[in-house]
Amino acid sequence: QVHLVESGGDVVYPGGSLRLSCAASRFTFSGHGVHWVRQAPGKGLEWVAFTRFDGKSGDYSDSVRGRFSISRDTSANTVTLHMNSLRAEDTAVYYCARGRGYSFRGGFDYWGRGTLVTVST
Amino acid sequence: DIQMTQSPSSLSASVGDRVTITCQASQDISNYLSWYQQKPGKAPELLIYDASTLETGVPSRFSGSGSGTDFSLAISSLQPEDIATYFCQQYENLPLTFGGGTKVETK
């Protein structure tokens, strides 16, 4: 069974930084895109970022572009979301999700349980 | 960006009822659409991809249809375990976008 585990969520001050990790197991990591999707308390789902199967390209939502970056370590089977200049509106549960295919298309067939990021004074 | 409009935002139905949720895209997305189910406190789960293909392991009472800009998710006979919030999502283009969600409750 495919397994994704997020870690790194915490309480951080506005303007601070945080690094979220997604550890993947039991599937060929290099064969799938990996995405981050967030959900603010009581709200809907918002796509945040993705890295292509080979890590050579990716993209971000406008709300995080320039502040967040995504990287993957294929040898360690991990994807990391580097979050800088955090704002109160970044407060959410962050999910790591596996893309069904190599690129951004196909939907997300496996999700982690999520990690909570709270940006507050 | 492609806007996804889901309706209704919530509905109440009886066990055994047929339930239909619709999702409209702001532009043609072909069949690049998926549906997810999310139960409280849990991560979403994929139900349907490519607008009408049932994900492995998903009960056959779930079905998806549509192409272009208009899509629907149907539950042929609502079961107690189907109480959840449902989201559509387009992947025709970046940024990927979700509908606002439909909360399904029982009467």
* Residues in chain B closer than 8 A to A62 (CB atoms): 1, 95
Residue-level pLDDT at B30: 97
Residue-level pLDDT at B82: 98
Distance between CA atoms of A118 and A50, rounded to whole angstroms? Answer: 21
Q: What is the layout of strands, in order, in the sheet containing B4-7?
A: B4-7, B19-25, B70-75, B62-67
Residue-level pLDDT at A16: 98
Residue-level pLDDT at A27: 78
The 10s digit of each residue's pLDDT in A15-58 is 999 999 999 888 767 788 999 999 999 999 999 999 987 778 88
Residue-level pLDDT at B6: 98
Residue-level pLDDT at B46: 98
Mean pLDDT value of segment A64-85:
93
The token duo for B24 is: 């409209």
Residues in chain B predicted with pLDDT less than 50, given as ranges, are none
Chain A: residues touching B (Cβ < 8 Å): 35, 44-47, 50, 59-62, 95, 100, 104-109, 111-114
Task: State what percent of residues in chain A have pLDDT above 90.
Answer: 75
Of A5 and A53, more confident:
A5
* Residues in chain B closer than 8 A to A105 (CB atoms): 32, 91-92
* Contact state of A47 with B99 under an 8 Å Cβ cutoff: no
SS3 B70: strand
Amino acid at B95: P
